Chain A
Amino acid sequence: MKLFLRTVAAAALLVGGPAAAQTYPEKPIRLIVPFNQGGLTSNSARVMVKAIEDNDLLPVPIIVSYIPGAAGTIGARQVKDSEPDGHSALIWHVAANGAQAMGNVDFGPDDFKLVAGTDRQCYMLVVREESEYQTLPELLEAAKANPDTIISADNLGGANHIASVLAEDSLPGARFRHVQFGGTAKTYPALLGGHAEVNATSTSSLSSTSTNGLRVLGYMGPERHPDYPDVPTFHELGYDTEFCMYSWWFMPKDTPEDRVATFRDAMVKAMETDYLREQSVVHGVEHVILTGDELKSAMETEKAKISAIGARLRGE
């Protein structure tokens, strides 16, 4: 019934739109998820939309569309080229910087209006339980002594690859052999089966496998993760390495600032609900929403890291 009423309301708004041209939002907002259903990004989008709608934080429904493919660039391009009236939005992640840094597309975060950053999750370096490497320094020293022999299970060009490259960079001279396996569904069995030795994984992927059969060597966050109190951070071990990923929320570049603010306020209020708090725990992500200067600096940090790596990988 509620769904029905909402549909009627949406239809009424659509019809009555032109009369109240100055109001925003005047019609349903289309949120594009540039990935397949089922992944973390699609879930982040869905739970945010549910929290906004259940608490009536925006007067219109938000319609989630999946436009997957090519690391999210296909769906992102659609939002980039949409009418900048605040009725189209995009959720993307580190690939926003990655795709540009790898030279696959000629646009990046600068070609959008950045609304917010949510769901922080930092990366961890894991090996299987039977691995001879007990600690991070042992692993990195071995990768330095015999460079290009220890296999890292990666999705080349993707976030776990970037994290793995940053991890080896913590010790100058250390080099893994980066091999294409894919996402967690492929890298986790590859580690267990001994096809690869090491893998960089996000806390959200790790929580789905419950570290079964794996040993976590180091955490790439600023301080220890509450769920893994025994795992040292890279900083503690003397390596100046940090890599965290966010869900970035974008709108087309020329969207008026007041409309962006309306949408952002709804997101901020949604984040305060118990529902989203619970969901963050289940998904294994940190319950944060970045706005303002914090948001800018987080994006700048990510861009700097990724473009440096992109340049190096393309040069190789």
Chain B
Amino acid sequence: MDAFLSATGHILTPAPLFWCFLGVALGAIVGAIPGLSGSMLITMTVPLTFFMGSYYDALILLVAMYVGSVSGGLVSATLLRMPGTPSSIMTTLDGYPMAQRGQVGRALGLGITASFVGGLISWVFLIGLSPTLAVWATYFGPWEYFTMVLMALVLIASLSQGSMAKGLLAGFLGMLASMPGVDPSTGMLRLTFGFDSWAGGFSLLPVLLGVFVVSQVLKYIIDAERPVLRIAASNEGIFMSLADWKRQATNLIRSSVIGTWIGILPGIGASIGSICAYTAAKNLSKTPEKFGTGIDDGVVASEAANNATIGGALVPLVTMGIPGSVIDAILIGALLMHNLQPGPLLFVTNPEVPYTIISTHLIANCMMLVVMLLSVKWMSKLILVPTAYLMPIILMFCLIGSYSLQNRPFDVWVTLAFGVIGFVLEKVKVPLAPFVIGFILAVLAESELRSGLMASAGSITPLFTRPVAALFLTVSIFMLVWSFWSDSRGARLRKRDLVE
């Protein structure tokens, strides 16, 4: 506790506070720009931190950037339907329609506040229950991972907005696109068609940038003649009302807990946290049909969960010295280079270090709330910038971003190719979200299932005998049947309306 107080005391002095502010602000800006991601910013910053006086300040800067970057993505997701970071894919579904209706301030306000609450709740878990949670998380084996991902995959069936067949088609196409490269279970190459450049598969960032961003740029170029709808952007409703808080309380807590938990599990990122929380919110909602049309609950679930994954991902970092996310792996590398060995012993040898991480997480979260709420006024102006100015800039960042991911031109071609795919899909009214969800989840589901099958020598009994896996499986089946049923009922109702 002393170490925590002294670490917090240190952060609350001018210089560290400045680093924290700088980190949050830079993170949020980079997060909001499609193409530039938090891990890029942090990768570039790590070598610079050697020029900083103390490694505490370096840590503060890096953790603040982490918090800022996950939060910033909601801005472009809401205003432009372009997720600034992969973690805000789900925010595009409801944030964008809401902004299109003119409720720009409200959409951003909800997202920012939910981000803050998500961060706060995950922080409570981080400081209070880290050791316990880290042990619980080890209970999750391949079967639990597989069925958990399966639950999120089922969401595809209910995300199709109208035609379920098209939603499923998009999902399967996304899964197909994730197959080439290294077989996740054996390390052998597959479906590379003899191209050496395909050996690494298609990375998430170029695919995401292509499908969501380049496709919109193309659409704009081709549809440029059409008059652009002018939205009367209103900044009202930035702050959640008491009634909002009451309505969203359960959703906020549930989504934050889901996000925290998924953050703790290694190898599962913030985007999956947000997909799972959205699935839960939609399936437990009394009005699931309103999801995807600009409902508060959708924005809140997505943003609370993706920020909660940060606190969650820090749990295995501080307790076990293993990374819960890509950015955590970079943080571990930074600690090592500053001569600090991460892991449980850090609490004994340098307790200020883990507590600096923990307090920075809290303070950066509060700072994020203030900085972002205060800048909504300027952010929302983005929507008024003529598209002709905006699109070339965004396209440029996308191409730079995809190139710098692995420093090779191949990813730029991937981005452009998926831009065309995304554009064509939109043209034939196939939804994009299921495509990306299928892309993200398929490899994970596949590798976990195959690990489970290797461990059980080919038997699927653990699916039914391991309680958590059995529970997840039941929920998935229930959700699947239910979405088919409500889809066919919806079709019947529409038919009857037509007849009458």
Which A residues lie at the B interface, using CB under 8 A?
Answer: 3, 36-39, 42-43, 46-47, 50, 65-71, 73-74, 77-78, 102-105, 148, 151, 155-158, 177-182, 184-186, 188-190, 192-196, 207-210, 212, 278-279, 282-284
Contacts and interface: CB of A to CB of B under 8 A. Distances in A.
Contacts of B138: 189-190, 192-194
Question: Which of B186, B187, B326, B407 lies at the interface centre, i.e. has the most chain A CB atoms within 10 A of its CB?
Answer: B187
Given A192-B138, A282-B339, 7 more contacts: A37-B333, A69-B182, A148-B457, A189-B140, A192-B135, A195-B455, A209-B343
19 contacts: A70-B200, A74-B200, A104-B199, A158-B187, A177-B455, A179-B454, A180-B451, A185-B329, A188-B320, A189-B320, A193-B137, A193-B139, A195-B141, A208-B321, A208-B341, A208-B342, A209-B322, A282-B336, A284-B341
Contacts of A210: 321, 341, 343-345
B204 to A, nearest CB: 12
- 3 closest A-B pairs by CB: A69-B200, A157-B187, A193-B138
Contact of A68 (B187, B333, B406): B406
Contacts of B181: 69-70
A189 B406 contact: no
B189 A67 contact: no
Contacts of A105: 199
B136 to A, nearest CB: 9
A178 B329 CA distance: 26
Interface stretch (B43-51, B113-121, B273-281, B486-494): B43-51
A281 to B, nearest CB: 9
Contacts of B43: 37, 66
A181 B451 contact: yes
A155 B447 CA distance: 12
A74 B189 CA distance: 12
Contact of A180 (B46, B50, B199, B454): B454
Contacts of A209: 320-322, 343-344
B408 interface: yes
Contacts of A158: 187
A38 B332 contact: yes
Given A180-B454, A184-B322, A67 B407 contact: yes
Contact of A71 (B50, B182, B447): B182
A185 B337 contact: no
A46 B339 CA distance: 13
Contact of A67 (B47, B266, B320, B406): B406
A138 to B, nearest CB: 22
A161 B340 CA distance: 28
Contact of A212 (B185, B203, B324, B344): B344
B97 interface: no
Contacts of B225: none
Contacts of A104: 187-189, 199
B408 A177 contact: no
Contacts of A68: 200, 406
A279 B185 CA distance: 33
B142 interface: yes
A42 B333 contact: yes
Contacts of B322: 184-185, 188-189, 208-209
A78 B185 CA distance: 26
Interface of B: 39, 43, 46-47, 50-51, 135, 137-142, 181-182, 184-189, 196-197, 199-201, 203, 266-267, 316, 320-324, 326, 329-333, 336-337, 339-345, 406-408, 447, 450-451, 454-455, 457
A271 B85 CA distance: 40
Contacts of B332: 38, 208
A295 to B, nearest CB: 26
A201 B150 CA distance: 31
Given A67-B408, A185-B267, A210-B343, A156 B196 contact: no
Contacts of A3: 51
A212 B343 contact: yes
B40 to A, nearest CB: 10
Contact of A70 (B51, B186, B199, B337): B199
Contacts of B46: 37
Contact of B185 (A43, A77, A156, A282): A156
A148 to B, nearest CB: 7
Contacts of B406: 66-69, 74
Nearest to B454: A179
Given A189-B266, A195-B455, A47 B337 contact: yes
A91 to B, nearest CB: 14
B187 A38 contact: no
A184 B186 CA distance: 17
A283 B266 CA distance: 21
A78 B329 contact: no
A104 B182 CA distance: 9
B69 to A, nearest CB: 15
Nearest to A68: B406
B187 A37 contact: no
B187 A177 contact: no
A42 B454 CA distance: 31
A273 B189 CA distance: 41
Contact of A46 (B185, B321, B337): B337
B455 A151 contact: yes
Contacts of A207: 341, 343
A209 B341 CA distance: 9
A188 B265 CA distance: 12
Contacts of B39: 37
Contact of B408 (A70, A78, A103, A151): A78
A304 to B, nearest CB: 21
A278 B341 CA distance: 12
A42 B139 CA distance: 31
Given A188-B322, A189-B137, A208-B343, A69 B201 contact: yes
A66 B407 contact: yes
B394 to A, nearest CB: 25
A185 to B, nearest CB: 4
A180 B310 CA distance: 26
Contacts of B344: 209-210, 212
A38 B317 CA distance: 13
Contacts of B329: 36-39, 185
A99 B342 CA distance: 30
A212 B266 contact: no
A38 B451 contact: no
